[in-house]
């Protein structure tokens, strides 16, 4: 109600009563009034007051009318209920009195009937229990067929409690009881099997189905899988932790309410929710009082079930691979294609191994999550039923996973052979062959004492590997078929210690996940981490050291190590335009493999970088030794003239200061070729020298060389007369220069890895000191390459001096020539030598380098011919023709080499043709046409004419006149 209900006045407080003073005063006023008018006035006043009171009463009545009505109704209902209650109480009293009277009459008879009723009721209950007990096996079978294990367990427990309770003494139920006990054991075994199946098989079924689908994709993409060769090391190495977390979320997101486990009898698939189904199974085991037995069974079977998972996944991947291999592939005809197919097969096997690991890792994560759900249910039922059971923990599951992965690595890394043939560190890692210096030295080094390459005294797991393998061999039947008895058909690829390079990164990522799950502290790695670290240190690194040393020994110590070149197929693969030394390519392949190992085993990056430095230092010494053998003659103290002259810093600096040297070096650009190799690409320079600049530069070089080499003469033992040695030096130059580019590329990658963040670079970070040492070695190889090309450049010129400037060889030029149209034998020999050198260098050096070697040679030969005039005693016209023929022969040879006319030799020919003239004619030509040759050259020519012709014996006057003429004409260049 909107209005407030009436309030009952407090008890004991009476309302104030109006006094009758007003009425008495009215009566007195009427009595005292003398006239009717006064009475009317009093009457009117009184009526007015009455009206006011009536009006106020009406207002109050209208205001509280609803409350009064409700109060009356409540009072009426209360009155009725009180009256009815009084009547009921009266009736009850009368009935009780009647019953009391009747019970007094038949008390004993009623007691007897009551007892009989209770007895018959109990007998009926026993009969019903017996009927239900007889129906239990059928119902139990029905529930088990529908996998309603909670209903079945509750029914069985109830039936067993009935048989052990009130029906214990019923002989007719003995067979039923025996059958129920059998059913209990069967149900317990079935529950354990279902729990195991869901912990290991059902939880990983999605991954298995996905694996089957990828197998079909694998078969369809067989033709394009070969292109994945370079991506195998990277594509499957990274673990997508977002997917990992997502897969965990699929299980842990919907947490089961263990306090209210209900089994829907009408469901079609009770196993649809794995967590709910596992909770039901564990609840059933608790009802059967088998929790302790179930936990022990899980502990015992954990490792064997994990091994089964690996075996099934292996067979599945192997089957998919075999199906894909049945797909016809278009045959390739060349020998190189056979090598590529073999390489693709190796990449395919590595891809299968990585697929296996990736799949196993996904399965193991799901299995750990399943065990987490199971342990949660076990803990709940132990609290619920107050059971004292020691449960296993998640670290126990991770421990078994690590043990299984160690067994897997034992197979694929071929570690098991170490059990039959124990790892002999004393004979493998301490022999002198491990010192890589001995593999590069050209001369036999002195015998050294054996030293230890690795020591593991400070390792926390020095005996871990061998002792673990020996224990596992006798404790695990899966490893007893080792050595010759290994069944390789159950492996996705051949066992090989090098498999560690492909699986190290994914294994370390999974190990990192394990250590985070186990909350391992820094410096306390998990057992799987220690196992892999021990394997890498004790086995892989030692074997790789020996392998590198053996490979480089075979590459550099063979008889043709410095003559054998790369075949055309390999040149095409490396993107080379000129062949290289096979020894250099093999050493570079060792470096490339070390680079790959730095990528695959980043934790050992410093070690492999140090090993790379050792290889580079020792191969540098080998190359320098080869260079010294080329430039040194039989005598240890005497060197080739070109190399000895190059040791002069001033001369070396002068040659490198010439523009043609800068042009040759600036035209070399780095280019990444096929297979990730580095090659040299050359392009034309934009700023070409003018012909006059080239002439002036060549004249300058010819002047310097003639002033240094033209005085004492060159002996035969001071030149490299064997063209094969020049070819070897050219090969060494090209190979070392290419090798230096490979080192530079490695340095660039290491510097990039240092500058960018972790995980973004392929190579791991190494110390700055190692990078500086690598830069020093690269610079030393570049210096050796520069030295080789400079020696070749000088050697060609030294040989020109040797053949063209022998003193005492020009006496035949006056009266001793039978056929002036033939060149001198030494000139013919020089022409043949230059031709042979050109053929040797054209097949080994880049055209730009060959151009650098032969460019300017015409100016030098012209300078030598002109300078030789001072050594000629006498000369006649036949001798002049012979000298012109010599010039023409060499000019033709150089033209064939450089494919350009050597104008400088025309200058030399004109000089000897000037000898046909008399001294007066020579002086007149200088006056008329200007100076064509230098003053010294004119002096030598006039002196030769005076020695050859008696009429011009007074040479002094011609020389004085020449000096006067040249003083007036000036120097003309």
Q: Which residue has the tokens 């020049």?
A: 726
Among 200-204, 256-260, 331-335, 693-697, the range scoring the smallest mean pLDDT is 331-335
Residue 954, in any domain of the structure: yes
Between 257 and 430, whose confidence is greater? Answer: 257
What pLDDT is stored for residue 226 in this prediction?
41
Residue 239, in any domain of the structure: no
The answer to whether the beta carbons of residues 557 and 439 sit under 8 Å apart is yes
Please check the confidence at residue 447 and state whether its pLDDT lies above 70.
no
Digit-coded pLDDT (tens) for 120-165: 787 676 666 666 666 777 788 888 888 888 888 888 877 776 656 5
Residues 463-481 have a mean pLDDT of: 47
| Model confidence band, residue 473 (pLDDT cutoffs 50, 70, 90) | very low
Rounded Cα–Cα distance for residues 479 and 488 (Å): 12
User: What separation, in Å, do the N-terminal and C-terminal C-alpha atoms of the chain show?
Assistant: 134
Between 65 and 481, whose confidence is greater? Answer: 65
What pLDDT is stored for residue 57 in this prediction?
86
Digit-coded pLDDT (tens) for 709-727: 656 567 777 888 788 888 8
What pLDDT is stored for residue 10 in this prediction?
60
Strands (E), 755-892: none
What pLDDT is stored for residue 131 in this prediction?
62
Residues 82-91 have a mean pLDDT of: 93
Residue 167, in any domain of the structure: no
Residue 415: closest CA among 342, 462, 469: 469
Q: Which residue has the tokens 């090391």?
A: 233
Digit-coded pLDDT (tens) for 385-411: 998 999 999 999 999 999 999 999 998
| Model confidence band, residue 60 (pLDDT cutoffs 50, 70, 90) | confident
Residue 970, in any domain of the structure: yes
Residues 212-222 have a mean pLDDT of: 47
Residues 27-51 have a mean pLDDT of: 81
Largest Cα–Cα distance of the chain, in whole Å?
208
Please check the confidence at residue 65 and state whether its pLDDT lies above 60.
yes
Return left, alpha or beta for 483; rule: phi > 0 is left, psi -120 to 50 is alpha, else beta.
Answer: left
Q: Is 84 exposed, middle or buried (0-12, 13-18, 19+ CB in 10 A)?
A: exposed
What pLDDT is stored for residue 437 in this prediction?
43
Please provide residue 632's backbone torsions phi and psi, each rounded to the nearest 5 degrees. -95, 135
Please check the confidence at residue 239 and state whether its pLDDT lies above 50.
no
Strands (E), 29-147: none
Rounded Cα–Cα distance for residues 874 and 407 (Å): 94
Residue 525, in any domain of the structure: no
What lies within 8 Å, CB to CB, of 325 at 6+ separation is: 222
Residue 964, in any domain of the structure: yes
Between 144 and 237, whose confidence is greater? Answer: 144
What pLDDT is stored for residue 85 in this prediction?
93
Please check the confidence at residue 449 and state whether its pLDDT lies above 70.
no
The answer to whether the beta carbons of residues 830 and 714 sit under 8 Å apart is no
What pLDDT is stored for residue 5 in this prediction?
59
What pLDDT is stored for residue 291 in this prediction?
92
What pLDDT is stored for residue 570 in this prediction?
85
Digit-coded pLDDT (tens) for 308-347: 999 999 998 888 888 776 655 444 333 334 334 445 556 6
Rounded Cα–Cα distance for residues 45 and 51 (Å): 10
What lies within 8 Å, CB to CB, of 281 at 6+ separation is: 149, 191, 194, 195, 198
What pLDDT is stored for residue 105 in this prediction?
73
What pLDDT is stored for residue 327 in this prediction?
53
Rounded Cα–Cα distance for residues 582 and 562 (Å): 8
User: What tokens does 925 get?
Assistant: 């030509």
Q: Report yes or no on whether pTM surpasses 0.75.
A: no
What pLDDT is stored for residue 168 in this prediction?
57
What pLDDT is stored for residue 299 in this prediction?
93
Among 203-217, 263-277, 597-611, 762-776, the range scoring the smallest mean pLDDT is 203-217
Q: Which residue has the tokens 């002439």?
A: 695
What pLDDT is stored for residue 536 in this prediction?
87
Residues 734-755 have a mean pLDDT of: 88
What pLDDT is stored for residue 440 in this prediction?
41
Rounded Cα–Cα distance for residues 461 and 464 (Å): 5
What lies within 8 Å, CB to CB, of 615 at 6+ separation is: 436, 548, 552, 587, 590, 591, 594
Percent of the chain with pLDDT over 90: 15
User: What tokens does 279 get?
Assistant: 């909770």
SS3 breakdown of the chain: % helix, strand, coil, rounded to 5? 75, 0, 25
Please provide residue 565's backbone torsions phi and psi, each rounded to the nearest 5 degrees. -115, 170
Among 313-327, 436-450, 464-478, 645-659, the range scoring the smallest mean pLDDT is 436-450
Sequence length of the chain is 973
Digit-coded pLDDT (tens) for 485-521: 445 457 888 888 888 888 888 999 999 999 999 998 8
Q: How many Cα neighbours within 13 Å face the side chain of 836?
A: 15
Q: Which residue, of 11, 43, 63, is where some domain finishes? A: 63
Q: Is 613 exposed, middle or buried (0-12, 13-18, 19+ CB in 10 A)?
A: middle
What pLDDT is stored for residue 945 in this prediction?
83
Q: How many domains does the chain have?
A: 2
Domain of residue 37 covers 26-63
Q: What is the mean pLDDT of the chain?
A: 76
What pLDDT is stored for residue 668 in this prediction?
53
What pLDDT is stored for residue 867 in this prediction?
82
Please check the confidence at residue 674 and state whether its pLDDT lies above 70.
no
Please check the confidence at residue 429 and state whether its pLDDT lies above 50.
no
What pLDDT is stored for residue 406 in this prediction?
92
Between 721 and 237, whose confidence is greater? Answer: 721
Q: Which residue, of 63, 78, 109, is where some domain finishes? A: 63
User: What tokens does 219 get?
Assistant: 């078969």
What pLDDT is stored for residue 512 in this prediction?
93
Residue 400, in any domain of the structure: no
What pLDDT is stored for residue 91 in this prediction?
93
What pLDDT is stored for residue 254 in this prediction?
47
Helix (H) or strand (E) holding 670: strand 668-672
Digit-coded pLDDT (tens) for 344-358: 556 677 788 999 999
Digit-coded pLDDT (tens) for 534-591: 888 888 888 888 888 888 888 787 777 787 888 888 888 888 888 888 888 888 888 8
> What DSSP letter does each residue of 911-940 carry, written as one string?
HHHGGGS-HHHHHHHHHHH---S-HHHHHH
User: What tokens does 756 get?
Assistant: 């960018």
| Model confidence band, residue 211 (pLDDT cutoffs 50, 70, 90) | low
Residue 751: closest CA among 728, 733, 768: 768
Rounded Cα–Cα distance for residues 825 and 823 (Å): 6
Between 328 and 930, whose confidence is greater? Answer: 930
Helix (H) or strand (E) holding 681: strand 678-682
Residue 430, in any domain of the structure: no
Digit-coded pLDDT (tens) for 851-908: 888 888 888 888 888 888 787 777 778 888 888 888 888 888 888 888 888 787 888 8
What pLDDT is stored for residue 221 in this prediction?
42
Residues 933-959 have a mean pLDDT of: 81
Residue 194: closest CA among 271, 267, 287: 271
Residue 862: closest CA among 711, 715, 716, 706: 706
| Model confidence band, residue 301 (pLDDT cutoffs 50, 70, 90) | very high
User: What tokens does 168 get?
Assistant: 């214990």
Kindly tell me the sign of the dihedral angle through the C-alpha atoms of 590, 593, 595, 601.
Answer: negative
DSSP state of 103: H
């Amino acid at each position: 109600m909107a209005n407030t209900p009436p309030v009952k006045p407090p008890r004991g407080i009476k309302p104030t009563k109006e006094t009758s003073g007003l009425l008495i005063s009215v009566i007195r006023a009427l009595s005292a009034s003398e006239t009717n008018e006064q009475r009317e006035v009093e009457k009117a006043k009184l009526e007015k007051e009455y009206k006011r009171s009536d009006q106020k009463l009406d207002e109050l009545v209208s205001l509280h009318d609803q409350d009064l009505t409700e109060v009356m109704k409540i009072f009426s209902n209360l009155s009725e209920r009180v009256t009815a209650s009084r009547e009921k109480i009266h009736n009850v009293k009368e009935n009780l009195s009647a019953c009391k009277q009747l019970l007094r009459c038949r008390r004993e008879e009623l007691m007897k009937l009551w007892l009989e009723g209770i007895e018959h009721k109990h007998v009926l209950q026993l009969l019903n229990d017996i009927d239900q007990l007889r129906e239990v096996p059928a119902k139990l079978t029905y529930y088990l067929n529908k996998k309603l294990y909670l209903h079945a367990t509750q029914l069985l427990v109830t039936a067993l409690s009935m048989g052990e309770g009130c029906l214990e003494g019923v002989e007719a139920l003995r067979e039923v009881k025996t059958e129920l006990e059998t059913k209990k054991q069967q149900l317990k075994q079935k529950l354990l099997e279902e729990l195991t199946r869901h912990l290991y098989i059902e939880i990983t079924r999605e991954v298995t189905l996905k694996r089957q689908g990828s197998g079909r994709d694998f078969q369809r993409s067989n033709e394009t899988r070969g292109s994945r060769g370079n991506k195998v090391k990277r594509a499957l190495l990274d673990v997508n932790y977002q997917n990992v977390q997502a897969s965990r979320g699929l299980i842990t997101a919907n947490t089961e309410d263990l306090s209210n486990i209900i089994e829907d009898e009408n469901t079609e698939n009770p196993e649809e929710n794995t967590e709910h189904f596992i909770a039901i199974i564990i609840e059933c085991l608790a009802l059967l009082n088998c929790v302790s037995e179930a936990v022990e069974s899980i502990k015992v079977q954990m490792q064997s079930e994990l091994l089964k998972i690996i075996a099934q996944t292996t067979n599945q991947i192997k089957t998919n691979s075999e199906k894909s291999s049945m797909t016809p592939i278009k045959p390739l005809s060349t020998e190189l294609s056979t090598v590529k197919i073999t390489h693709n097969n190796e990449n395919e096997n590595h891809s299968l191994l990585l697929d296996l690991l990736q799949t196993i890792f996904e399965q193991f994560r799901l299995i750990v999550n399943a065990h987490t759900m199971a342990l949660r249910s076990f803990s709940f039922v132990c609290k619920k039923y107050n059971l004292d059971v020691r449960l296993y923990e998640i670290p126990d599951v991770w421990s078994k996973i690590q043990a299984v992965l160690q067994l897997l690595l034992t197979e694929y890394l071929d570690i098991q052979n170490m059990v039959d043939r124990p790892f002999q560190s004393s004979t493998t890692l301490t022999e002198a062959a491990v010192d890589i210096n001995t593999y590069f030295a050209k001369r036999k080094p002195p015998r050294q004492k054996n030293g230890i390459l690795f020591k593991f005294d400070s390792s926390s797991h020095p005996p871990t590997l061998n002792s673990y393998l020996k224990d596992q061999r006798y404790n695990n039947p899966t490893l007893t078929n080792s050595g010759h008895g290994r069944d390789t058909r159950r492996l996705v690829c051949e066992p090989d210690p090098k498999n560690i390079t492909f699986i190290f990164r994914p294994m370390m990522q999974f190990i990192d996940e394990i250590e985070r799950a186990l909350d391992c502290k820094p410096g306390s790695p998990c057992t799987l981490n220690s196992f892999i670290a021990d394997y890498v240190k004790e086995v892989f690194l030692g074997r790789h050291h020996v392998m590198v040393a053996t490979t480089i020994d075979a590459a550099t110590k063979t008889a043709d190590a410095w003559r054998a070149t790369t075949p055309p197929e390999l040149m095409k693969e490396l993107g080379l335009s000129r062949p290289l030394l096979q020894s250099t390519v093999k050493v570079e392949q060792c470096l490339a493999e070390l680079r790959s190992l730095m990528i695959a085993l980043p934790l050992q990056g410093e070690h492999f970088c140090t090993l790379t430095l050792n290889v580079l230092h020792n191969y540098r010494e080998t190359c320098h030794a080869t260079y010294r053998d080329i430039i040194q003659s039989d005598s240890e103290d005497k060197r080739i003239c070109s190399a000895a002259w190059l040791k002069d810093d001033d001369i070396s600096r002068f040659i490198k200061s010439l523009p043609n040297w800068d042009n040759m070096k600036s035209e070399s650009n780095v280019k990444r070729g096929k297979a990730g190799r580095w090659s040299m690409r050359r392009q034309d320079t934009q700023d070409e020298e003018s012909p006059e600049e080239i002439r002036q530069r060549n004249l300058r070089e010819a002047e310097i060389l003639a002033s240094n080499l033209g005085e004492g003469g060159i002996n035969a033992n001071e030149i490299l007369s064997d063209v094969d040695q020049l070819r070897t030096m050219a090969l060494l130059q090209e190979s070392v220069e290419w090798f230096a580019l490979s080192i530079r590329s490695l340095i660039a990658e290491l510097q990039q890895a240092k500058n960018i963040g972790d995980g973004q670079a392929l190579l791991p970070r190494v110390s700055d000191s190692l990078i500086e040492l690598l830069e020093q070695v690269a610079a030393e190889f570049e210096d050796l390459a520069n030295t080789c090309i400079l020696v070749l450049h000088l050697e060609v010129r030294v040989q020109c001096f040797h053949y063209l400037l022998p003193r005492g060889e020009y006496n035949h030029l006056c009266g001793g020539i039978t056929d002036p149209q033939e060149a001198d034998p030494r000139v013919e020999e020089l022409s043949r030598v230059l031709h042979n050198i050109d053929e040797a260098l054209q097949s080994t050096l880049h055209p730009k380098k060959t151009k650098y070697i032969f460019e300017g040679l015409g100016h030098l030969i012209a300078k030598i011919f002109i300078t030789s005039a001072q050594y000629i005693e006498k000369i006649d016209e036949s001798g002049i023709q012979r000298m012109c023929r010599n010039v023409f022969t060499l000019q033709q040879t150089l033209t064939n080499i450089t494919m350009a006319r050597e104008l400088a030799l025309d200058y030399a020919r004109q000089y000897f043709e000037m000898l046909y003239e008399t001294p007066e004619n020579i002086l007149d030509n200088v006056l008329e046409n200007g100076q064509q040759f230098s003053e010294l050259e004119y002096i030598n020519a006039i002196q030769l004419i005076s020695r050859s012709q008696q009429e011009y014996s007074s040479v002094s006057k011609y020389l004085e006149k020449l000096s006067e003429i040249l003083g007036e004409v000036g120097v003309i260049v």
